């Protein structure tokens, strides 16, 4: 019976929390909790950010070359088969 009573309380609490004021309160709580979590983040240094950005750009360049060459090769193979 305790479970039924608890569910009824929760349903009535949910019904009471549907107003605009409660939504604003929930949003304010969300922003405050987000602020706390952002303070816990260990942000990378400028040097680390630059190094990882360069690594990503190099990888993108290498992969684009590889995929371009594979595409060109497959195009030639299909043209050879169809002609």
Q: What pTM was computed for the model?
A: 0.54
Using an 8 Å Cβ cutoff, are 16 and 22 in contact? yes
74 or 13: which leads in pLDDT: 74
pLDDT at residue 26 in the model: 94
pLDDT tens digits for 61-77?
Answer: 999 999 999 999 999 99
What is the C-alpha separation between 57 and 64, in angstroms, rounded?
10
Q: Is the pLDDT of residue 10 over 60?
A: no
Residue 51 has pLDDT above 60, yes or no: yes
Residue 79 CB burial class (10 angstroms; 0-12, 13-18, ≥19)? exposed
In the numeric block, which tokens belong to residue 66?
A: 């590889």
Instruction: State the pLDDT at residue 19.
Output: 80
Q: Which helix (H) or strand (E) holds 79?
A: helix 46-82
């Amino acid at each position: 019976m305790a479970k039924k009573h608890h569910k009824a309380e929760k349903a009535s609490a949910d019904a009471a929390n549907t107003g605009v004021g409660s939504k604003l309160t929930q949003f304010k709580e969300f922003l405050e909790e987000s602020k706390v979590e952002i303070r816990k983040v260990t942000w990378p240094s400028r040097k680390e950010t630059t190094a990882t950005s360069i690594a990503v750009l190099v990888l993108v360049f290498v992969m684009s070359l590889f995929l371009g060459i594979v595409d060109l090769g497959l195009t030639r193979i299909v043209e050879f088969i169809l002609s």
